[in-house]
Amino acid sequence: MTFLFYFQPFRNGRLFLYPNERRILKAMKKILKRLATGFLAFATIVTALPTTAVHASETQYWTESAERAGYIEKVMNDGSIGSTFNEGIMKVEGETAYCVDINTNFKNGYKTRADASTRMSADQISDVALSLEYVKQYAQSHSELNYKQVYLLEQCVVWQRLSVHLGWQCDNVRASYDEISKAVQDEVYAGAKAFASENKGRYECGGYIYSGEGQDIGQFWAKLAVGNATLKKTSSNASITDGNGLYSIAGATYGVYSDKDCTKQLATLTTDNSGNTDTVEVKAGTVYIKELSAPAGYKVDSTVYSLNVEAGKTATLNVSDTPKVTDTLIELFKIDMETQKDAPQGDASLEGAEFTWKFYAGHYTADNLPSEPTKTWVTKTIAEKDSDGTIHYVSRLSDEYKVSGDSFYTQDGKNVLPLGTLTVEETKAPNGYLLNGAYMQADGSEEQIKGMYLTQITEDGDIAVLSGSNQYHVSDKVIRGGVKIQKRDLETSDTKGQGSATLKDTEFEIISLNDNAVLVEGKLYSKNEVVKTILTDIEGVASTSADLLPYGKYRVEESKAPEGYLTDGAEPIEFEITEDGKIVDLTGTDTSIYNQVKRGDLEGVKIGAGTHQRLAGVPFRITSKTTGESHIIVTDDNGQFSTSSDWASHKNNTNAGKTSEDGIWFGTSEPDDSKGALIYDTYIIEELRCESNKGFELIPPFEIVVSRNNVTIDLGTLTDEYEKEISIHTTATGKDGEKSIVAGKEVTIVDTVTLDGLEKGTKYQLKGWQMSKEENAELLIDGQRVESDYTFTADSEEMKIEIEYTFNASSLGGQNLVTFEELYDLSNEDEPVKVAEHKDIDDEGQTVLITERIISIHTTATSEDGKKEIEAGKDVTIIDTVTLDGLEIGTKYQLKGWQMIKDENAELIINGERVENDYTFTADSESMEVQIAFTFDASELGGKELVTFEELYDLSNPDEPTKVTEHKDIEDDGQTVTITEVPEMPEEPTEPEQPTTPDTPSKTTDAPKTGDNTNIALFLGLLVLSGAGVAGTYFIKRRRS
């Protein structure tokens, strides 16, 4: 009988028996007992033999079950428990290991190690290793588990995963619930399974299998093989991008690649507002990152970055993008607005113009610019010379041109402008130019940009560009002014010429003293050229317009003296134009240009006709025809006279005019014997009456012209002829030629005077006045003499003239007025000489009678319809037609009238007031007819006769009217109107009561009385109807009968 024995592995030092094995064991107990003694004897012999260690060619590792962890229940897939055993903690060389063959018993001893990949697939290794990794991580976070419990959980997950892969059918093997609660185990097993699935590929997994006698054991590990990659993005030039909303580090995208050539993309990173990205998990090692798209305002970074990622760690790639900027900056070229050249005019300069630049971090228009810019700079124009020597005046956003302001934006060592809005405006004109009206203009453009210029810096692909041009000419208008020059007389310092000399039309030349050319009236002038010629006006003033001369220095020189003047004293004057629109005033006494007036003299000899007797002491009046200045020169004993200082010093009794030794000097300046006495002018030479020339006819005045300087005019010999007598014949009349005039407020006497013996060309004045013949005294009206005069120049020896006297003669009726006359020679108006008169109080030809003015009144009073009787009533009107003769035309009159009761010869009074009226008019003829109406209540005046009275008043003095006529005749039938009584009317009859026999009408009636208001027509109608009724009744009764 043969027995087969096999031993299951020991589990935790305990023999593990399957159920069928236990049944066999019971049957064999007796045999075992019998063999026990023999086996023990055999064992004693074997153990007593010396032992020899056997070593394989591979490295041997000591494996053992160090201690028991707890009970395991092998739960089969059908839910049954296949076995229960107490599991030990496996060790390999002291390191924890796990049973990898649940169906084989373990035996301590040396085992050979092999890589797990020789026995298991990579997925199986990964599944087991990751499950173990999960338990380990779980244990780290659950400190309540002891190491045995942890080991039991680890061993169970190893068996569970191997059961799945090797088909053991015990996928749910577990520790006893007495060892570890069901909840914990369920959580761990589910978590391990999920962890292994989720982390597949994230860990580098491996293991060893130890094989030898007994059960194989294994060691597994899962080493994290991934790390995290992230990116931090910043601006490479924060000074440009900070605070500028046109730049954003959000939205940049980066590709994460496993190869340097960036063909195998692992992930995409996108930056947020802080420049950070999400974290992406990659295999530990080197990954490659490059930018796919740049955020707003930045250039795309083409660099491929490498990033070393350590397992379990996060590696951050710090990158920066370059902001888009433009280094194409605006250049401003300053030019002269008028010449459109970069050369200044006159003494002005195009250098030093200042521009204020303002940068705004954002895109704006002129309408929505923020109140404060991000940066401000002030630059100035600087002269720069080109290679060909041409000078330009330029301003740029650069330190060489900077006057003040913030620091410039820079990038890569250059001044740049970020994305945003830039404005520039000229804020200070250069010396000699105006800020007002300046404009910018791009080359080739017609647009003139005045004031602020605005441009935007915008993105254009991978660059930033300026909108508009980057070069502009800035045109400034040169300051322009004018000059006003005053020409003055050297002697008087006055602005008016002396005599007939004039300061008008003095010619002045304005000369440029500027190194730069000046543009005057469309033409360029160089230094020392005459830019303008001007002439003085009548006041001696010459002026340019206020915008003729560009900013600079000039000289004004007299090039032609005015009429009557020498060029002596005319000194050039320099001046500067520095203010726009201002005329430099050179009219003061210190800055005027002076000229000496031409002066000369005259001389002559005076004799009488016939004997040729020289006449001494004869005065001659020398009168300036222009100014009227007049002085007298007197002949000496020889009849000679001269104005020259060689004859008599100008300073000796200057202009006394008494003797031949008195000096003569015309003008207001101090006499100067080095000059002539007479100013450039035309003079009237007039002989004056004196004792020496009495009986002589004076020579007529004549003219001489002083036009040459320092020349004496010889008048020759002046001869007087014997004079004639002047006679006067006169006739005085009214305007109508009659010798009588009706008295009035304005009468005119015309005196016709015939003069014989006049000296032709002599000026005369005829004076006349009125005399009262009865009183042989001058006629005075309102205290004033009634007089008139007439001045004339004789154009013949015999002349007839008229002289009128108009005055108020209202109160002179009945008086005779006589006209007296005197004739005066006005050759010397300061001392008129009476040469004839006519004063005869009894001269009938000179007498005019003033007759009384008589005004008559003729009147007729009637009713409105022209009748002389008016029926009494409450509202009656009497019309008084008045004819007036003898009125004074143009005089204002008032006609007053009222009613009189004839039989009482008293005024008619109604309701306590006189019945009256008036009419005011102005006479337009000597005879006029007017009407005046009187309307009143005449109800109680029946049978009365009323007479109209009138008075006429002159209203020339309204405060004191004067009665000039009246008409008051109580017996005047023409002025009488009779008020008749109103007739009485009969009473109205009563209507009959249908009598069978009509009543006979009564014949007795009351006649209407005066004032009765009965309606007669109504009465008569009723009477007729009554008669008809009676007749009809009679006719009917008769037919019935």
> Per-residue DSSP letters for 940-958?
T-TT-EEEEEEEEEE-SST
DSSP code per residue over 557-579: EEEEPPTTB-STT---EEEEE-S
Could you tell me which of 169, 129, 152 has the C-alpha nearest to residue 67? 152
| Pair of tokens at residue 950 | 């009138």
Confidence tier at 28 by pLDDT (50, 70, 90):
very low
Name the band, by pLDDT with cuts 50, 70 and 90, for residue 993.
low
Q: Which residue has the tokens 């059961």?
A: 163
- Rounded distance between C-alpha atoms, residue 672 and residue 667, angstroms: 11
Mean pLDDT for the chain overall:
89
Query: Is pLDDT at 621 greater than 50 in this prediction?
Result: yes
Q: Residues 275-300, buried b or exposed e (16+ Cβ, 10 A)?
A: bbbebbebbbeebbbbbeebbebbbe
Q: Are 569 and 596 in contact (CB under 8 A)?
A: yes
Each residue's pLDDT tens digit, 622-671:
999 999 999 999 999 999 999 999 999 999 999 999 999 999 999 999 99
Residue 217 CA to residue 158 CA, distance in Å, equals 11
Query: Closest Cα to residue 816, out of 765, 779, 866, 789?
Result: 779
CA-based nearest residue to 897, from 962, 956, 965, 849: 965
The pLDDT, as a whole number, for residue 872 is 92
Task: pLDDT band for 924, please (50, 70, 90 cuts).
Answer: very high
Answer yes or no: CATH 1.10.3720.10 is held by domain 599-722: no
Residue 339 in this model has a pLDDT that exceeds 60: yes
CA 605 – CA 634 distance, rounded (Å): 11
**Contact in structure between 297 and 273 (CB atoms under 8 Å):** no
Predicted confidence at residue 632, as pLDDT, reads: 97
Distance of CA 699 to the CA centre of its chain: 75
Which CATH topology does 727-851 take?
A: Immunoglobulin-like (2.60.40)
Give the CA dihedral 122, 124, 127, 131, nearest 10 degrees.
Answer: -120
Domains of the chain by residue range:
10-224, 226-321, 326-474, 480-595, 599-722, 727-851, 856-980, 984-1041
How far is residue 1024's CA from residue 1029's CA, in Å, rounded to a whole number? 9
Residue 240 has pLDDT above 60, yes or no: yes
Domain covering 226-321: architecture: Sandwich (2.60)
Mean pLDDT over residues 157-173, rounded? 97
Residue 379 pairs in a beta bridge with 355, 402
Q: What is the pLDDT of residues 857-876, one digit of tens each?
A: 999 999 999 999 999 999 99
- Range with the poorest average pLDDT among 94-103, 531-540, 833-842: 833-842
- As a whole number of angstroms, the distance between CA 4 and CA 163 comes to 29
What values do phi and psi take at 511, rounded to 5? -115, 135
Assigned token pair, 185: 């185990």
Instruction: Flag the least confident range among 243-247, 308-312, 834-838, 988-992.
Output: 988-992
Q: What is the CATH code for 856-980?
A: 2.60.40.3930
> What is the CA angle 302-305-306, rounded to 5?
155
Residue 760, phi then psi, degrees to nearest 5: -60, 130
- In angstroms, the Cα distances linking 735 to 57, 282, 732, 845 are 181, 140, 10, 15
% of the chain exceeding 70 in pLDDT: 89
Nearest to 282 by CA among 201, 228, 318: 228
**Residue recorded with tokens 């250049």:** 331
Treating both helix axes as pointing N-terminal to C-terminal, what angle do 29-48 and 19-27 enclose, rounded to 10 degrees? 90
Quick check: 237 and 280 in contact, CB under 8 A? no
Separation of alpha carbons 378 and 400, rounded Å? 11
Which two three-digit tokens encode residue 570?
């005319």
569: left (phi over 0), alpha (psi -120 to 50) or beta: left
Residue 986: predicted pLDDT: 59
The two beta strands, 727-734 and 402-405, are: unpaired
For 885-910, give one letter per residue: b (16+ CB within 10 A) or e: ebbbeebebbbbbbbbbbeeeeebee
- Contact at 8 Å (CB) between 693 and 720? yes
From CA 400, how far away is CA 402, in angstroms rounded?
A: 6
Q: Exposure of 624 by Cβ count < 10 A (0-12 exposed, 13-18 middle, 19+ buried)? A: buried
pLDDT, tens only, 396-454:
999 999 999 999 999 999 999 999 999 999 999 999 999 999 999 998 899 999 999 99
Across 884-895, average pLDDT = 92
Express as a percent the part of the chain with pLDDT over 90.
80
Confidence tier at 732 by pLDDT (50, 70, 90): very high
Higher pLDDT, 338 or 30: 338
| pLDDT range class, residue 33, cuts 50, 70, 90 | very low
Looking at residues 919-943, what average pLDDT do you find?
A: 93
**pLDDT value, residue 811:** 86
Place of tokens 């042989």: 776
What does the block give as tokens for 772? 């009262």
Q: What is the CA radius of gyration of the chain?
A: 75
Single-letter amino acid code for the residue at 350? L
Where do the H-state alpha helices sit in 180-265?
A: 182-198, 238-241
From the number of C-beta atoms within 10 Å of its C-beta (0-12, 13-18, 19+), residue 528 rates as exposed
Is residue 94 exposed (0-12), middle (13-18) or buried (19+ Cβ within 10 Å)? exposed
Burial pattern 1001-1021, b for ≥16 Cβ within 10 A else e, equals eeeeeeebeeebebeeeebee
C-alpha span between 803 and 754 (Å, rounded): 11
Do the domains 727-851 and 480-595 match in fold?
yes
Domain 480-595 fold = Immunoglobulin-like (2.60.40)
481 bridge partner residues: 549
Res 694: pLDDT: 84
Whether the model clears a pTM of 0.85, i.e. scores above it, the answer is no
Angle at 942 between CA 936 and CA 944, to 5 degrees: 85
